[in-house]
Chain A
Amino acid sequence: MTVLPKTVVITGATSGIGLATARSLAAQGVNIIGAGRSQSRCVEAEALIRAETPAARVNYFVADLASQRQVRALGSAIRELIQREFGGKLDVLINNAAAVSDWYVATEDGYEMQFAVNHLAGFLLTYELLPLLEMSACARVITVSSGSHYHTRMHWQDLMYRKHYFCLSAYKQSKLANLLFTREFNRRLADVSNIRAYAVDPGLVNTEIGAKGTGGLIQWFWNIRSRSGISPAEAAKTIVYLTAIPDIPQKEAVYWKECRPVEPSQYSKRADAAARLWEISEQLCGIVYTP
């Protein structure tokens, strides 16, 4: 018999897959801590979940994950809430938030937006919440990657695609980074802690992500393409499945789709790339993970 976790943090929880995951878990009695960029969308999402599940314990925080300062502030707000109300324990962190941008946009830290939001923010937030995850008997860090991570490699000479930016290349790289992060996290922490990391391929989902920071052709193409996608609720099933406690079969498998382990790209299995990205990410966030 599987048991659901008690407390879950979900980023990008005001729409798409993040919101669907929050709704589904809340309906099953899980405490939801959501994060979103827009105040009004956070309020709406919280109200929606409460309307569906009146007994739900839901808290939303506003944070723009493109800003490391705001990721840190989010981490400390969540720590404080969990200490105060949820017994100081976090069972699952779902790094779901992602951005797409047609143009090279530098964040306030001077980093490329997609790399900052899709990879660095999750890396930093996981670090911020590590002490709470360590208190859980069986914790998970689930990062929403994508099939976009196939057929690409890390662009080490210019990780931020600053000089020759192409939206899709930067997006694909950030999704590959999600897998490398997950793999390296397990290599460093799975044996010495009770936390295990997973990456999820939600499949082609009918959300707005491809139309958010884009226009013209890319927006048009996304609108056509996403219509044939599955619903966010369908995509959330794999994430919900991976949160279940005490255990899932094949728990060593890193990459999951439709509630089954699938084979990630060859590049994503490269230990040297995973270690290198980890070190760079620590440097860029100004942190050192110590188990």
Chain B
Amino acid sequence: MKSYVFISGAAGGLGKAFAAECASRGWNLFLTDVSAGDLSILTSGLVRLYNVEIIYYPCNLTDPASRDELWKIIQQRNLRFHFLINVAGVDFEGPFIERTSAELGTIIRLNIESTVDMTSRALHFRDKTRMLRIINVSSLAGYYPMPVKAIYAASKRFLLDFSLALHHELAESGVTVTVLCPAGMPTTPSAISGIFAQGFMGRITTKNVGYVAAKTIDRALSGRMVYIPGVINRILRFLGGTVPPSLVAYFIGKRWLKIRHKYNGEILKGV
């Protein structure tokens, strides 16, 4: 029986990098994202490049009915998975007071609810002849309370704790859970300008998505629990762990607000 690598958020920057990495290893893929058009274009590109089998189905992961439909298709086609990579996630950056209730709900539904749901369902559709590797995408932000990214960081904290717990819970049943905690990912023009806005710190903490995807797959295959890409990020994480969370939140808040002011100022000046 053929088994597949399940990737959610596959048409985004990190999703595409995971898809390319898995395809380059000769694995067959099952991709999902919101837009069928994006998935179709990506699928033909990757099939031409790597000559693997790729199935895609669009799904709005924030909508339980859409998720039901996705898993119904998987059941009908009798698909089995040996890898689940939960990439789909979202942030609406900016002060909490400026966020609408719909935006806050979307962060929670996509980052938390859908990841939990996908993980739970995938366990019932695993290829029982192989190990099941689960990768959840948390963030370095998951380690700290982060002013200006409060809900996002808290949702990533949820994914971090959820993954660590599940890793131990499922250890005996041939399932490994690896949680990826990257710093900023240069995936979109706005993410890239965000990294530039952070200046030197932004540059040294940022790693290329292709590299991150490849290393994360290696870590998952060796059963590692957490992967933080980049030595500097691992040092930051270590230092952050030695300071009380409230103090970290204080410093991060000061820094983000400063960057935001500088960045917004530049936009206003038209630089």
Chain A residues in contact with chain B, CB under 8 A? 67-69, 102-112, 160-165, 213, 215-216, 283-286
Of B20, B192, B210, most buried by chain A (CB within 10 Å of CB) is B210
Asked whether B16 is an interface residue with its Cβ less than 8 Å from the other chain, the reply is: yes
State whether B41 touches A106 (Cβ < 8 A): no
B7 to chain A, nearest CB (A): 12
Given contacts A111-B45, A283-B48, are A104 and B209 in contact (CB under 8 A)?
yes
CB contacts (< 8 Å) of A111 on chain B: these are 45, 49
B220 to chain A, nearest CB (A): 16
CB contacts (< 8 Å) of A103 on chain B: these are 186, 192, 206, 208-209
State whether A106 touches B21 (Cβ < 8 A): no
CB contacts (< 8 Å) of A284 on chain B: these are 45, 48-49
Complex CA gap A284/B46 in Å reads: 9
B266 to chain A, nearest CB (A): 12
Asked whether B214 is an interface residue with its Cβ less than 8 Å from the other chain, the reply is: yes
Complex CA gap A108/B11 in Å reads: 8
State whether B42 touches A164 (Cβ < 8 A): no
**Per-residue contact bits, chain B 202-240, to A (CB 8 Å; 1 contact, 0 not):** 010010111100100000000000000000000000000
Chain B interface secondary structure, helix, strand, loop or mixed? helix
CB contacts (< 8 Å) of A109 on chain B: these are 41-42, 44-45
Give B197's nearest chain A residue, CB to CB.
A215
Complex CA gap A161/B209 in Å reads: 11
Give B186's nearest chain A residue, CB to CB.
A103
Complex CA gap A109/B44 in Å reads: 7
Asked whether B134 is an interface residue with its Cβ less than 8 Å from the other chain, the reply is: no
B90 to chain A, nearest CB (A): 19
CB contacts (< 8 Å) of B251 on chain A: these are none
State whether B49 touches A162 (Cβ < 8 A): no
Complex CA gap A246/B24 in Å reads: 48
Of A162, A283, A284, most buried by chain B (CB within 10 Å of CB) is A162
Q: Which residues of B, 1-31, contact A by the 8 Å Cβ criterion?
A: 11, 13, 16-17, 19-21, 24
CB contacts (< 8 Å) of B250 on chain A: these are none
State whether A110 touches B192 (Cβ < 8 A): no
Asked whether B60 is an interface residue with its Cβ less than 8 Å from the other chain, the reply is: no
State whether B187 touches A105 (Cβ < 8 A): yes
State whether B41 touches A162 (Cβ < 8 A): no
**Per-residue contact bits, chain B 61-90, to A (CB 8 Å; 1 contact, 0 not):** 000000000000000000000000000000
Complex CA gap A283/B206 in Å reads: 33
- Extra A-B contacts (9), CB below 8 Å, given A67-B41, A69-B41, A106-B209: A105-B13, A110-B45, A110-B46, A162-B211, A165-B210, A215-B196, A215-B203, A216-B196, A216-B200
Complex CA gap A69/B41 in Å reads: 8
CB contacts (< 8 Å) of B203 on chain A: these are 215-216
State whether A104 touches B45 (Cβ < 8 A): no
14 contacts between A and B (CB under 8 A): A67-B41, A102-B186, A104-B17, A104-B210, A105-B13, A106-B16, A110-B46, A162-B24, A162-B210, A163-B210, A165-B208, A284-B45, A284-B49, A286-B44
CB contacts (< 8 Å) of B13 on chain A: these are 105-106
Given contacts A215-B196, A283-B48, A286-B44, are A104 and B211 in contact (CB under 8 A)?
yes
Complex CA gap A68/B199 in Å reads: 33
Closest 6 CB pairs of A and B: A109-B45, A162-B210, A103-B186, A215-B196, A110-B45, A104-B208
